[in-house]
Structure 1
């Protein structure tokens, strides 16, 4: 953390909160006091859940069961006021991007994470469309070459699929590694992005 130029966790959390929204305290309270709206829509990669607070998107998940997606969101924010809203505007942005990965996708986020997770997520945001990095390379780039597993763990903890592109992380041997929402979806996302690059 200190190698990244932050003298204390509070400074990094403060910076992250300004950019990405939710503070660690909000999350530890189980989302108490938060209003979370969500929609579930069919997509080219299965069902897509998008959830947001008043500040920004707090969850983007793929799945095969609406019930499982809803239960996962409620488990994540057990004390929040959660309501379904099929007109949630950011859902259209994500569905549009899945159809055309060259479309702009810059939505406000309201998520939480540890200091190290923030660093990994910001690293992921800097990986260009159509490119990949390995977990070990990311660890080296972050100044912690022995933290390969921790990098993979931060990717697995990413709460917003696609918006933070953890699908662009591979194993050092080029294998897909893991993906919270299924390796078939990871492969499909990478192939979509490669087709976009090839067509431009």
Structure 2
């Protein structure tokens, strides 16, 4: 094996998602090719060959794995995750128990791990957030605090007020009529994203495991207002466009964005949105573009302060030497996004060796 194959084999063993979408493993003994994240038992190193695309693997005579389904654009989600998420969507006010989960054929611990992995919260916490969103909606429409409390499944008034305070940022009695930001989870092939918007535009779009996310949510509550889960026309449009973006059908993301920052930060964010899909810019190039050639470090800070990922494409900024540098959504996602956009823009990956493996450096 070549040194690059060593790296890919280590990624296969670790089920590393960094190469999701542009590296695949073919198993010579079975004639099957898989994602590097496939949960199947790992083959011997000598029996593995790597490919840069599904097409390369198929041309070499390999069949797609039935477990990890490499031909599907979206990564396979846990069966428990998909089923329970849909049931919560159709029954947002239901109080779920471990017995309910078992009745659907799933182990409660499996459901807990699936939601924890995808959203950073347990199944119970996810379901409760949806119930609270319904309850807050009732408060805004003039319902009583007691009705909202019982609908959300809280026996204790103080417990309900505490949960509402954490979610919305204000006590229920004061929430009626108050401007409230609306939140929604968006599913993508590289992890769940949290979107927060109001009638004017998107205030936040971040991956669920971003370290700074709790701070950003707290800042939004302070600067703009309370937050609850729910529906809105802006979130519907955003959900539609994000799904098309990640499926590769459209790179258009023109949902209005609302970000509060300094004049300098706003100029950087505007410059980011002018980077063409499939291209990148260095911090120095952005600094020159906004007329501040002496401020590449300040550009880097403003880039990091962006809290509307993908739409304001901070992932398209790289180091002067071509390195990926930091990214709050994790470097493997930055690599995935850049390669995904290059494909959408028609910039094919550079083939390396005759084995069909792709060059993964950029």
TM bin, normalised by shorter chain, reads 0.7 to 0.9
| Structure 2 partner of 1:117 | 265
Aligned-partner Cα distance in 1 for 2:343–2:334: 14
Aligned-partner Cα distance in 2 for 1:155–1:194: 21
- Bigger radius of gyration: 2
Aligned-partner Cα distance in 2 for 1:101–1:180: 26
Deviations along 1:85-133, one digit per CA (max 9) or x if unpaired, are 2673122321221222634211011211111001111111111110111
Deviations along 1:117-153, one digit per CA (max 9) or x if unpaired, are 0111111111111011100111122222220110011
Q: SS at 1:117's partner residue? A: helix
| Structure 1 partner of 2:287 | 139
Aligned-partner Cα distance in 2 for 1:34–1:145: 40
Q: SS at 2:338's partner residue? A: helix
1:191 lines up with 2:339 in the alignment: yes
Checking the alignment, whether the CA contact within 8 Å between 2:283 and 2:320 is kept in structure 1 is: yes
| Structure 1 partner of 2:197 | 52
Aligned-partner Cα distance in 1 for 2:299–2:347: 32
- Which range moved further: 130-139 or 96-105? 96-105
Aligned-partner Cα distance in 1 for 2:216–2:281: 29
| Structure 2 partner of 1:85 | 230
1:130 lines up with 2:278 in the alignment: yes
Within a 5 Å distance, the mapping from 1:139-158 to structure 2 comes to 139-158=287-306
1:75 lines up with 2:223 in the alignment: no
Paired residues, what number?
Answer: 166
Aligned-partner Cα distance in 1 for 2:253–2:311: 7
C-alpha distance 73-151 of structure 1, shift in aligned 2 (>3 A): closer
Displacement, 1:179? Answer: 1.1
Checking the alignment, whether the CA contact within 8 Å between 1:40 and 1:86 is kept in structure 2 is: no
Aligned-partner Cα distance in 2 for 1:83–1:108: 20
Structure-1-length-normalised TM-score: 0.75
Aligned-partner Cα distance in 1 for 2:335–2:249: 14
C-alpha distance 140-41 of structure 1, shift in aligned 2 (>3 A): closer
Q: SS at 2:221's partner residue? A: coil
2:327 to 153, 156, 179: 179
Q: SS at 1:77's partner residue? A: helix
C-alpha distance 112-140 of structure 1, shift in aligned 2 (>3 A): same
Checking the alignment, whether the CA contact within 8 Å between 1:35 and 1:54 is kept in structure 2 is: no
Structure-2-length-normalised TM-score: 0.43
Alignment RMSD (CA, Å): 2.3
1:100 lines up with 2:243 in the alignment: no
Following TM superposition, the consecutive aligned residue runs of length 4 or more in structure 1 with deviations greater than 4 angstroms are: none
Aligned-partner Cα distance in 2 for 1:137–1:198: 23
- Which range moved further: 99-108 or 177-186? 99-108
Deviations along 1:6-29, one digit per CA (max 9) or x if unpaired, are xxxxxxxxxxxxxxxxxxxxxxxx
